[in-house]
Amino acid sequence: MEQDYLLLYKTLFDHYGPQNWWPADTPLEMMIGAILVQNTNWRNVEKALIKLRPYLGAEALDRLQEEELAQLIKPSGFFNIKAKRIKSFIQWWKQYNFSLNRVKKLEKETLRKELLNVHGIGRETADVMLLYALDKAVFVVDAYARRIFYRIGYDMPNSYDQFRLEVEQTFPEKLDVFNEFHALLVEHAKQYCRTRPLCDKCPLSSICKKRVEGD
DNA sequence: GTCCGGTGTC
DNA sequence: GACACGGGAC
């Protein structure tokens, strides 16, 4: 079998168990976290979220000055850019009166296009929002997924959407599978499949070709 | 390809 | 000290 995504998923799930993502109390917190975590360590995002907690309501964030917001989220890095991005996102959501249900009623592809149209929301951020806050079944292609799939030996498309669709075809509309899959890949990338991989005792040893980047 | 950026880790 | 980090815009 060339590229057995189901086997990969099962192997990860058997080892790590259910992850029950995303780590957030509310959909808003989830979506803000998605912006804050762009190319940033999650630990730094948690620090920013703690400072931001008193303002973690759509109206409160809308009222907050961008400069003030930037200061609050400083620990997450790229704070000026991210403050702008959060503002853009809130402005977009405001069109729906900050109603999650109204947004969730939109078609998956329609909603993705709308999110991609928001300044500061790219494919990955849009997809994690779709998956973890808006109940849309999408496979998230992040740097970890690319790294892990590559090292295992899977020959994946370079294009984000081609990569995504390739995996999605294996699990059509399986919301909870995509939910767990992305979380498991992140966990695995943190624990074993790091920049410097820890291949000894890696739970994927039996199915991994241990390919090295730059071949 | 380059910039944005604070916070861990090696 | 360099380097990496649930990316995206320019």
Q: Express each pLDDT in A106-165 by its tens digit.
A: 999 999 999 999 999 999 999 999 999 999 999 999 999 999 999 999 999 999 999 999
Q: CATH 1.10.340.30 in chain A: give the residue spans.
A: 27-132
Residue A56: DSSP 8-state: -
Q: Got the DSSP string for A122-177? A: -HHHHHHHHHHTS--------HHHHHHHHHHT----SSHHHHHHHHHTTSTT-HHH
Contact A13, A174 (CB under 8 A): no
Fold of A5-20+140-207: Endonuclease Iii, domain 2 (1.10.1670)
Protein chain A, residues 34-93, with a C-beta closer than 7 Å to any atom of nucleic acid strand B: 39-41, 43-44, 47, 74-82
Tell the residue number behind the tokens 């899959």, with chain if given.
A181
In which band, very low, low, confident or very high, does the pLDDT at A214 lie, cut at 50, 70 and 90? confident
A128: the nucleotide nearest its CA (via C1') is C6
B3: residue with closest CA to C1' = A78
CATH 3.30.360.10 fits A27-132, yes or no: no
Protein chain A, residues 121-140, with a C-beta closer than 7 Å to any atom of nucleic acid strand B: none
- Give the residue among A96, A28, A102 at the shortest CA–CA distance from A58: A28
Q: CATH 1.10.1670.10 in chain A: give the residue spans.
A: 5-20+140-207
Q: What are the pLDDT digits (tens) for A10-47?
A: 999 999 999 999 999 999 999 999 999 999 999 999 99
For the CA of A197 and the C1' of C10, the distance in angstroms is 33
The CA–CA distances, whole Å, from A103 to A64, A121, A157 equal: 23, 16, 31
A48: the nucleotide nearest its CA (via C1') is B6
Q: What are the pLDDT digits (tens) for A60-105?
A: 999 999 999 999 999 999 999 999 999 999 999 999 999 999 999 9
Cα–Cα distance for residue pair A73/A10, rounded to 1 Å: 37
